[in-house]
Amino acid sequence: MRKLLFIFIIAFSFTGCDKGEKIENKAPETQLVFESINLSGNDRLNSQVRLSWFGTDIDGYVKGYEISLDNQNWTFVTTQDSVFVFPLEQGKDTTDIDFYVRSIDDLDTKDETPAYLKVPLKNTAPEVNFIASTLPIDSNHLVVTFSWLATDLDGNESITNAFIKANNGDWLEIPLNANIISVTPTNPLDNGITDAKLYYNGRFATSNLKGFNLNGENTLYLKVQDFAGAESTPDTSNSFFVSNQKENLLFITGQDDATTSKYENLLSNSSYDLLDYGLAEKQPKFWDQTFSLIIENYDGLFINSDANIFTNPFNQRSALLLEFMAPSLQKYFNTGGKAFVTTSFTSTSDITSITEVFPIDSISTSKGQARLDQDSGLVAINQPSWPNIYPSFLIAGVSPFHPTQDAVPLYKGQLKIGGSWVGPNIIGAKRNLGGITSQIFFSVQLHQFDQDPIAQKQLLETMLIELGL
């Protein structure tokens, strides 16, 4: 019996290996992970769907796959899953997608019976939201700036259009990539319902937003639309007031109400608009986009600040008020704007960005301190008709500065030196542009020099006259 079995095996071996006989390649087989998706009505899938598949080949290996939506036109892939965003016809919110996939083996043989799945889809309407942390505050001057975000469960790429509306005005289409929008009146001197200009990401875009209420309350609305025509529920901003421009001089205060009141008294013979930046929450969240658009409307600026550090509540950046203002002020000066600044520093203040804009090169960082008291004040340089002013109390830690090469010193301090302090004595300087004074900068807070209120008031008025304001 064992002998007969051996002969049978030998015979079979020779029979199966006849020279010249070709073994036919077997086609691969393909399967989808889900054989069916039995969903209907609101349970249908949204148009962004992940599908998975795999293939087997008994006499080789699967080198890739082809997928199709009509069983005729095929696309080659090597992956075994993918996220698909399936199209829906304009105006339709449901459809069924035919999905085919077939394996291809190492000899380019294709599965003759592709795996098939009917995918039931329902379009999901997109959503749009104002980013709450960027929304304007209760009271704004001339400009409001905000950012927004649109999403869609079917894939954000399915969003095709975005629109904005002011109050009861018309919807206006905006670009989908207009992530930061500034709204400002076309004519800043208007009052009541007017047109507004839009700036997208800091750049002017259009000037026909209807229904903006200048010197009144405003509400903004946003909506988006997807490729199937489905619209989001409009998102609504908070209600906010926007004041108009009345004068050509803008008084920007970066200090408390009591200090602001002192400067208001000193400027009582001048006409101006007031912009209060004394608290971080009152300051722009998007400084360059907002502040630049405000100040470009004015011939001149009066700015008072101090050495306090503010933190932007949106991006958490901390800096001196003048540091936040610096990029906008540089553009403002380049286009002929003028400014009178009174501020103060500490010996540790970082004024790098300020020195690039104002006629101040550096301050002393030596030990000790410079002081001014009732017997030592600010003295005009080469201007005998200009008033000298003195404080009513000791001012410690004064920061006189080295002016820039193009600066003209205006005032020096009669400094009292404490410890081993060494440094310059210049307190005020100006910069000219085209032979005309464009900047006046004092590194002390002028409201503190009130020993002679008449002289103090005269100094501020003299500086404004020097600027032609």
Q: What are phi and psi of 441, to 5 degrees?
A: -130, 125
pLDDT value of residue 193: 97
Question: Would you write out the chain's pLDDT as a tens digit for each of its 469 residues?
Answer: 333 333 333 333 333 444 445 567 888 898 887 655 645 555 455 667 788 999 999 888 999 999 999 999 999 999 999 888 776 666 666 778 889 999 999 999 999 999 998 887 777 789 999 999 999 999 999 999 999 999 988 778 889 999 999 999 999 999 999 999 999 999 999 999 999 999 999 899 888 999 999 999 999 999 999 887 889 999 999 999 999 999 999 999 999 999 999 999 999 999 999 999 999 999 999 999 999 999 999 999 999 999 999 999 899 999 999 999 999 999 999 999 999 999 999 888 889 989 989 999 999 888 889 999 999 999 999 999 999 999 999 999 999 999 999 999 999 999 999 888 999 999 999 999 888 999 999 999 999 999 999 999 999 999 999 999 9
Let me know if 350 is exposed, middle or buried by CB neighbors in 10 A (0-12, 13-18, 19+).
Answer: exposed
Q: Is the separation of the CB atoms in 311 and 283 below 8 Å?
A: no
| 3-state SS assignment for residue 289 | helix
Other CB atoms within 10 Å distance of the CB of residue 438: 20
Q: Which amino acid is at 296?
A: E
Residue 232: closest CA among 240, 221, 242, 243: 221
Is the domain covering 24-122 a CATH 3.40.50.1980 domain?
Answer: no
pTM for the model stands at: 0.80
Q: Is the separation of the CB atoms in 12 and 82 below 8 Å?
A: no
* DSSP 8-state symbol, 266: H
pLDDT value of residue 452: 97
Q: Is the separation of the CB atoms in 170 and 272 below 8 Å?
A: no
| 3-state SS assignment for residue 24 | coil
pLDDT value of residue 236: 97
What are the Cα distances from residue 66, in Å, to 98, 119, 204, 208? Answer: 14, 18, 48, 50
> In the chain, where does the domain assigned CATH 3.40.50.880 lie?
249-466
> In the chain, where does the domain assigned CATH 2.60.40.10 lie?
24-122, 127-243
Alpha-carbon gap, residue 374 to 377, rounded angstroms: 7
What's the fold here for domain 127-243? Answer: Immunoglobulin-like (2.60.40)
**CATH architecture, domain defined by 249-466:** 3-Layer(aba) Sandwich (3.40)
Token representation of residue 137: 């505050």
Alpha-carbon gap, residue 162 to 203, rounded angstroms: 18
pLDDT value of residue 2: 35
Q: What are phi and psi of 112, to 5 degrees?
A: -80, -10
Q: Which amino acid is at 76?
A: F
Token representation of residue 199: 């700036």
* DSSP 8-state symbol, 383: -
Q: Using CA atoms in the order 157, 158, 164, 169, what is the torsion angle rounded to 10 degrees?
A: 160
pLDDT value of residue 425: 96
- Helix spans in 143-227 (H): none
pLDDT value of residue 21: 54
| 3-state SS assignment for residue 228 | coil
DSSP element (H, E) containing 462: helix 453-466
